[in-house]
Chain A
Amino acid sequence: SQQGEEDPQALSIQEGENATMNCSYKTSINNLQWYRQNSGRGLVHLILIRSNEREKHSGRLRVTLDTSKKSSSLLITASRAADTASYFCATDDSFIQGAQKLVFGQGTRLTINP
């Protein structure tokens, strides 16, 4: 079953604008990861944030994590046409289960309009 929900399910913005996607989850986690999926390259890991971290940056990506609210957000700044893809959050509760199986959300479909 899916861990939680992503919001919005679809987002369409103009090139150059910022895109924000949110993810909520249900259980305690070890870490939360964001992945991108498009038809050309499949699922690609973007960024990982551990449960004891609150914010992380990687290039144009900024991820926040609020464990008290069981939520995370992904911000993509200065969007480009190549950012058009589906974005998934995935939680890892491996300190409980002992396995790094990922539990994915339903994804946000991001479209960048030129």
Chain B
Amino acid sequence: DTGVSQDPRHKITKRGQNVTFRCDPISEHNRLYWYRQTLGQGPEFLTYFQNEAQLEKSRLLSDRFSAERPKGSFSTLEIQRTEQGDSAMYLCASSLTGYLSYEQYFGPGTRLTVT
């Protein structure tokens, strides 16, 4: 399967700990997005990369959150000093740029539980 993959699928952590998630996009896709989804809601945009450049960050992304895409391939999302409000599903998506390439392909998500 050459779709978007995310690791880990589930993460349980204690409040105050740091966590890091990884996303591997579809190999030829140059855009990569992170979204957060809480129970009963639709996904909310967090940030996106075009190649290795982080071009936009949502106001939802506090200074405890940092994302990287060092070589324009995989990406990591780190949350420092986790809070219970960070409990959510973190989704990664990738896409191509171009007039005819608006569809985003989502990974299975990483479910974070902060206790």
Contacts and interface: CB of A to CB of B under 8 A. Distances in A.
Interface of A: 1-2, 30-31, 33, 35, 42-45, 48, 88, 90, 92, 94, 97, 99-107
Contacts of A92: 102
Interface of B: 31, 33, 35, 40-45, 48, 55-56, 91, 93, 95, 97, 102-109
Secondary structure at the A interface, as helix, strand, loop or mixed, is: strand
Contact of A99 (B40, B55, B93, B107): B55
Contacts, number: 61
8 contacts: A2-B41, A33-B104, A35-B106, A42-B106, A42-B107, A100-B104, A101-B45, A102-B43
Top 7 closest pairs, chain A to chain B, by CB: A104-B42, A43-B106, A101-B45, A42-B108, A45-B103, A88-B42, A104-B43
A45 B42 contact: no
A26 B109 CA distance: 28
B42 A2 contact: yes
A61 to B, nearest CB: 14
Secondary structure at the B interface, as helix, strand, loop or mixed, is: strand
B108 A101 contact: no
B48 to A, nearest CB: 6
Candidate in B33, B41, B102 with the most chain A CB atoms within 10 angstroms: B102
Contact of A106 (B40, B56, B93, B109): B40
A65 to B, nearest CB: 14
